[in-house]
Amino acid sequence: SAVISQKPSRDICQRGTSLTIQCQVDSQVTMMFWYRQQPGQSLTLIATANQGSEATYESGFVIDKFPISRPNLTFSTLTVSNMSPEDSSIYLCSVDQGPQGNEQYFGPGTRLTVT
Amino acid sequence: GENVEQHPSTLSVQEGDSAVIKCTYSDSASNYFPWYKQELGKRPQLIIDIRSNVGEKKDQRIAVTLNKTAKHFSLHITETQPEDSAVYFCAASHQAGTALIFGKGTTLSVSS
Per residue in B14-50, pLDDT (tens digit) is 999 999 999 999 999 999 999 999 999 999 999 999 9
Confidence (pLDDT) at A52: 81
Confidence (pLDDT) at B97: 67
Comparing CA positions, the residue from B69, B75, B61, B70 lying closest to residue B33 is B75
Per residue in A31-58, pLDDT (tens digit) is 899 999 999 999 999 999 988 888 999 9
> What's the sign of the alpha-carbon dihedral B41, B102, B34, B93?
negative
- Please give the residue that has the higher pLDDT: either A79 or A30: A79
- Give the closest-approach CA distance of A74 to chain B in angstroms: 15
Number of H helices, E strands in chain B: 0, 11
Q: Would you call B28 helix, strand, or coil by DSSP?
A: coil
CB contact under 8 A, A102 and B89: no
A55 in contact with B at a CB cutoff of 8 Å?
no
